[in-house]
Structure 1
Amino acid sequence: MGVKGFVEGGIASIIAGCATHPLDLLKVRMQLQGETQAPKPKPSPSPAVQTLRPALAFHATSLSAPGSIHVPLQQPQVARAGLIAVGVRLVQQEGVAALFSGVSATVLRQTLYSTTRMGLYDILKKKWTDPNSGSLPLASKIAAGLVAGAVGAAVGNPADVAMVRMQADGRLPAAQRRNYKSVVDAISRMARQEGIPSLWRGSSLTINRAMLVTASQLASYDQIKEMILEKGVMRDGLGTHVTASFAAGFVAAVASNPVDVIKTRVMNMKVEPGAEPPYTGALDCALKTVRAEGPLALYKGFVPTISRQGPFTVALFVTLEQVRKLLKDF
């Protein structure tokens, strides 16, 4: 019975992950905008550059001041207007296929991370459910999500690092791109060139984010679905699954976005041999980000995050419910 939960969760997660991969890629690109440690592009008067990288598009009087106080003032507009601009620029410069950069890493990540967290959550939920009433308190659902998310993130971190790097590679100057051929090539090169520990770079952030996402996403889906059915608002069907899953996706996006921004930057940082790393850790990255770009920088990429988290969560749970029906006799 336990294995079945892993299989069902794995299938649903892989389908949902591949379907929403382009939105996840745009989220990563937006989270890296304005990063003070990012490679500086060659000066260009092109307005398209200013649209893509508003945090680096200073007025003439502030071109020599990367830490200019103008940066934080521009941040609120980035999240609202950046998604389409970043997407259009990406397609123009790198082609439509670039929207699926790193999709092999997404498949591996969902296979390792999501399969583990979904299966483990299912096991804990069944184990902690009251056998007499058949109910499970919200606090127990959240606890199950925290544990499942932590274990899943630890297992899937290498694929997560590879995915972030492959998605971010196209924004670097051609000479500085890593040009990983696949997720296997990315992981093997990281292990060979930067050491095995590099595969777990940012793992504390990944684990914290996964705990927040899993607890908020899975627990809120179960709770909202139960409330809808108990109050008789809708019957158990597609409408209930879509409503509960979209609400769960919104909750997960709000809870996890700040950790996700820091995780993306720490995982993507380039550490030159003998040089000091751009960030010494998660806290250092958070402080530098807030100082240079303002507190709202922690919600960079929120539009694509919710744009992806909503459809991903809907696809995840709708697919999961259908897979459960197909496998109910096994």
Structure 2
Amino acid sequence: MGLKGFVEGGIASIVAGCSTHPLDLIKVRLQLQGESAAAAPALRPALAFPGSSPIAIPHSNPSLRRPGFLSVGAQILRAEGPSALFSGISATILRQTLYSTTRMGLYDILKTKMSSEGTAAALPLHKKIAAGLIAGAVGAAVGNPADVAMVRMQADGRLPIADRRNYRGVADALGQMLRSEGLGSLWRGSALTVNRAMIVTASQLATYDEAKEAIIGRRLLPDGLPTHVAASFAAGLVAAVASNPVDVVKTRVMNMRVEKGKAPPYTGAIDCVVKTVKAEGPMALYKGFIPTVSRQGPFTIVLFVTLEQVRSLLKEF
């Protein structure tokens, strides 16, 4: 497999990431809903009305009904325009190039190494999960700077105009973070990123392999597009359920504004969980679940269908 697995996984991941980017952006906006003024200064969404300036709306009252998936998407279109749905796309491309290329290629290598037969074909589920955990951790560590930039670029449009970071692209975002917040800011939330990536990679890749093998082994469907789509759908659902709480906390920690001379809104993941649950209730950890599923499903389907096609095209290499 070697380098070929990294190339195949990278191409499939970039295609999947770009095609589902708007869904990921809506998910990030939903996950940031409800942050109190104390926990996230100046991170309240701005609503724009025709002929007026954006108005900051506080989130301090958790009992207020907040917009859902379609409402947030429509709000972005009205207030920021269609192009806003692709805010942070350059960071997504960089993230998939670093993170997903690493995890997909390494997963294939580890599966082969862990197999006593020297092939990944008959690997038991627990070994697939172990390979996914390791591959996800390494990939997340490599791709964390792009992940931070992507979250910030996706979240920027929800701020009042005066508080926006206005990154011109992923390179500008990384440069500004380095200059104003130091090298450590590029790995802010890295523990959460690693934990989430381990959960997503293990559940997503292992579930896909297991489901595909079960469908073919029981002769429910032949090895083809319908099988790939069915296995991908199962993998996306499992990954969304398993990773959503970590994803919410990761999004909030990465997006928080840290001002010099002031304590950060969150001191870490546990503090973020405690403040979120205390202010908004336990189900706040599943904010953005519908768009997470809506994004994970298509993303996973596009990822694995593209991967199978790329493998077919590159099988002679």
Q: TM-score range by the shorter chain?
A: over 0.9
Question: In the alignment, which of 225, 234, 249 is matched to residue 262 of structure 1?
Answer: 249
Check the 8 A contact 1:261/1:298 in 2, yes or no: yes
Superimposed CA distance per residue, residues 76-99 of structure 1 (whole angstroms, 9 cap, x where no aligned partner) = x75xx6001000000000000000
Question: 1:27 corresponds to which residue?
Answer: 27
Of 130-139 and 20-29, deviating more is 130-139
1:92-171 superposed matches below 5 A: 92-131=78-117, 134-171=121-158
1:150-229 superposed matches below 5 A: 150-229=137-216
The amino acid of 1:15's aligned partner reads V
Check the 8 A contact 1:33/1:55 in 2, yes or no: no
Question: 2:5 corresponds to which residue?
Answer: 5
The amino acid of 1:253's aligned partner reads A
How far does residue 126 in structure 1 lie from its aligned partner after superposition? 1.2
Question: 2:219 corresponds to which residue?
Answer: 232
Residues in 1 aligned to 2:46 and 2:155: alpha-carbon distance in whole angstroms: 21
Question: In the alignment, which of 81, 85, 89 is matched to residue 71 of structure 2?
Answer: 85
Check the 8 A contact 1:168/1:268 in 2, yes or no: yes
How far does residue 43 in structure 1 lie from its aligned partner after superposition? 10
Is 1:320 matched with 2:307? yes
Superposition CA RMSD, Å = 2.1
Residues in 2 aligned to 1:298 and 1:139: alpha-carbon distance in whole angstroms: 27
> Given the superposition, is the C-alpha separation of residues 43 and 183 from structure 1 closer, same or farther in structure 2, using an over 3 Å criterion?
closer
Superimposed CA distance per residue, residues 237-257 of structure 1 (whole angstroms, 9 cap, x where no aligned partner) = 000000000110000000000
Residues in 1 aligned to 2:143 and 2:195: alpha-carbon distance in whole angstroms: 13
Residues in 2 aligned to 1:277 and 1:30: alpha-carbon distance in whole angstroms: 22
Residues in 2 aligned to 1:257 and 1:116: alpha-carbon distance in whole angstroms: 22
Which structure's residues are more often helix, by fraction?
1
The amino acid of 1:85's aligned partner reads S
Check the 8 A contact 1:26/1:86 in 2, yes or no: yes
> Given the superposition, is the C-alpha separation of residues 297 and 42 from structure 1 closer, same or farther in structure 2, using an over 3 Å criterion?
closer
Check the 8 A contact 2:45/2:160 in 1, yes or no: no
Is 1:16 matched with 2:2? no
The amino acid of 2:219's aligned partner reads G
The amino acid of 2:228's aligned partner reads H
Check the 8 A contact 2:45/2:57 in 1, yes or no: no
Check the 8 A contact 1:8/1:324 in 2, yes or no: yes
Check the 8 A contact 1:246/1:313 in 2, yes or no: yes
Residues in 1 aligned to 2:136 and 2:43: alpha-carbon distance in whole angstroms: 36
Check the 8 A contact 1:148/1:214 in 2, yes or no: yes
> Given the superposition, is the C-alpha separation of residues 251 and 26 from structure 1 closer, same or farther in structure 2, using an over 3 Å criterion?
same
Superimposed CA distance per residue, residues 127-151 of structure 1 (whole angstroms, 9 cap, x where no aligned partner) = 1123189510000000000000000
> Given the superposition, is the C-alpha separation of residues 327 and 184 from structure 1 closer, same or farther in structure 2, using an over 3 Å criterion?
same
Residues in 2 aligned to 1:41 and 1:113: alpha-carbon distance in whole angstroms: 30
Question: 1:275 corresponds to which residue?
Answer: 262
Check the 8 A contact 2:46/2:158 in 1, yes or no: no
After TM superposition, the runs of 4+ consecutive aligned structure 1 residues lying more than 2 A away are: 37-44, 53-56
How far does residue 311 in structure 1 lie from its aligned partner after superposition? 0.1
How far does residue 42 in structure 1 lie from its aligned partner after superposition? 9.8
TM-score under structure 1 length normalisation: 0.89
The amino acid of 2:81's aligned partner reads G
The amino acid of 2:280's aligned partner reads E
Aligned identity (percent) is 69
Residues in 2 aligned to 1:233 and 1:35: alpha-carbon distance in whole angstroms: 47
Residues in 1 aligned to 2:195 and 2:147: alpha-carbon distance in whole angstroms: 14
Residues in 2 aligned to 1:272 and 1:118: alpha-carbon distance in whole angstroms: 37
- How many equivalent pairs are there? 308
